[in-house]
Amino acid sequence: MPKSDNGVFAQAWKRLPWSQRSRNTETDRQKTAQAQELREDERVAEQARSLAPVVWLLGKVQSGKSSIIRALTPTADAPVGSGFRPCTASARIYDFPPEAPLIRFLDTRGLGEASYDPSEDLAFAEAHANLLIVVIKALDHQQQAIIDALKQVRQRHSSWPIIVAQTSLHEAYDPSMQHPDPYPFATTDPSKLAAAGVPNDLIRSLAHQRRMFENLPGDGLIAFVPIDFTKPEDGYKPVEYGLTALHEALERIAPQALVTALTEARSDADEPIRRRARPYILGYATAAAAADVVPIAGAVAVPAVQAKLLHKVAELYGIPWDRRAYAEFAAALGGGLLARYAGSYGIRQLAKLIPVYGQTAGAAAAAAMSFTTTYALGRAACVFARRRKAGSSEPGAVRLAYAEALAEALRMVKDREFPNPSGDSSK
């Protein structure tokens, strides 16, 4: 009597080498773990996105928008262009850093192109943006599509401020000319600009572009900032000409939370890896805050966000983050340190620094605490990872880094808003 199909399969399975079956099982486990890891990574990123401020870059293709992003968020990890992802049919968004965004840049691409209806892009951008930067080449006077879009925006948002970045100044230079030094564009007086060495054609073009914006509706401030961001091989120095002026315009116009995020993104540190780690630390801290303030379906909890941050720090420093590393880090922090700071000093300081604490209730205060403790863990992890990589152990330095970073983060929360998602100040 023939064996059943199940019996045949069972016999065949038994004839497989145990090692092969073991490898198949291990491969399946690895694939499952990797899939779970990807899902958690995306949920952490989504949490950070929910609170990260958005800069809307409005301009024609090749006007210099990516160069502005690169200058505001210096990173050598990848070209800016490769980090964009679509958010409407013709608009795209760039998260910095992608794993847990500290800041987001929205690029509406189609303006000025034939058969392009900007309605969808404008509606999306207006719903998400915290600041509008218009990017136009200094010698390009064909900007009617930009002006038309801005008229629509300002009719709906009359008080919105606008920064106009006038780019590619060098296209008006003679072949042997360098940037005028010092930066002369704090004035618009033609005679003073000419005396500073600015070409007459460029002076006239910049003035003409300013006049193009004179009839926009609304009363929001419009700031014009001539800039020229080039590559080193182009031969112009400095390569980020006018960046200081752009920062100053941002400080005058942008919401404080956005200014803080941009400042933090460029913050200097005493060593290169920690400088690279800082935006990630802030991004993950924002994700941790979002876990408390903006509920997201299937969102990971704050401890999971903090675990992701510790793994990212270890990756940046090139050390394994395993059970031994975790145990050593915990020992370096000292038993009960986090609870002691968060439960006593941290709460007392939050009560002083956050007006909503104890009034608008739990969500905002809990988010602020999650931000501060996550930030402090990340900074302490940098000290731990640097010393572990060098083969040394200095628990005192790790504890000091945590305490100093906690105090720094508590100062930061004054410039951040962690709203109560219920909208009810009684909760």
Q: How far apart are CA 95 and CA 104, in angstroms?
A: 5
Overall pTM surpassing 0.75 (yes/no)? yes
**301-354, pLDDT tens digit by residue?**
888 888 889 999 999 999 998 888 888 888 888 755 544 444 444 444 444 444
Region of residue 368 (left: phi > 0; alpha: psi -120 to 50; beta: else):
alpha
What does the block give as tokens for 359? 């009034």
pLDDT of residue 241 exceeding 70, the answer is yes
pLDDT of residue 111: 72
Given a contact cutoff of 8 angstroms between Cβ atoms, the answer to whether 370 and 288 are in contact is yes
Which amino acid is it at 184?
A: P
- How many angstroms separate the first and last alpha carbons of the chain? 74
Q: What confidence category does residue 6 fall into, taking pLDDT thresholds of 50, 70 and 90?
A: low
Write down the residue that tokens 């899902």 correspond to: 39
Alpha helices in 52-111 (DSSP H): 65-72
- List, for residues 60-117, the tens digit of each pLDDT value: 888 999 899 988 887 645 566 667 877 877 788 999 888 888 889 998 876 767 677 7
Phi/psi at 122 (5° precision): -65, -40
* Average pLDDT along the chain: 81
Confidence class for position 427, pLDDT limits 50, 70, 90: very low
314 by DSSP, 3-state: which? helix
Beta bridge partners of 59: 135
The residues with which 135 forms a beta bridge, in sequence order, are: 59, 165
Quickly tell me which residue has 């058969």 as its tokens.
115
